[in-house]
Amino acid sequence: MATVIMNFKEKRKEKQVKFERKVLRELSLEKLIKEVNVYFQPFLNGAMFSKAIEDGGVDVAIEAYLLGASFGRIGHYGESFESIRMRCYYEEKYLIDTLYEYLQYWGNMGDNDFVSESLYYACEQFVSKWISEGFDKAVMRHKLRLH
């Protein structure tokens, strides 16, 4: 009889992937694309709103959703959402900056400071919304014992 030896990192990674698959089942691709269009279409109407822009927005939304969901267990045990946002400040900032730079590149935004600043705020709101959405779904999953 052969025994399989797994180290702690492999087991943790396997568990994380399983959790992410369960959480992502509740997320609709159509909803993600619609939200990307709602948030960023006004800024990029001069540029061709391409599939690349939608894809980048969807990728960041999924990452933000998973980031929020990863803190759902802690939220279930009573920690506030604002406290949890402080815990993941650097990850959230990274996602915001990544999305902003991506949209600047693909949208050919130019040098208009007002539009650039507004786009950055839209990126902040977009990432924050998806972190919140993932967090809320994960808290609900823990309440229903679906984790």
CA of 53: how far to CAs of 43, 57, 59, 81, 147, in Å? 12, 6, 10, 29, 33
What does the radius of gyration of the chain's CA atoms come to, in whole angstroms? 18
Label residue 91 by pLDDT band (50, 70, 90): very high
Report the C-alpha gap between 28 and 33 in whole angstroms: 9
**pLDDT for the residue 3:** 65
Could you report the per-residue pLDDT of 14-68, keeping only the tens digit for each?
888 888 888 889 899 999 999 998 998 877 765 556 778 888 999 999 999 999 9
Contact criterion met (CB below 8 Å) for 108 and 44: no
Task: Give exposure, 93-130, as e/b (b: 16+ Cβ within 10 Å).
Answer: eebbebbbebbeebbebeeeeebbeebbebbbebbbbb
**pLDDT for the residue 4:** 66
Name the pTM for this structure: 0.84
**Where exactly are the structural domains of the chain?**
28-41+49-143
Query: Over 70: is that where the pLDDT of 2 sits?
Result: no
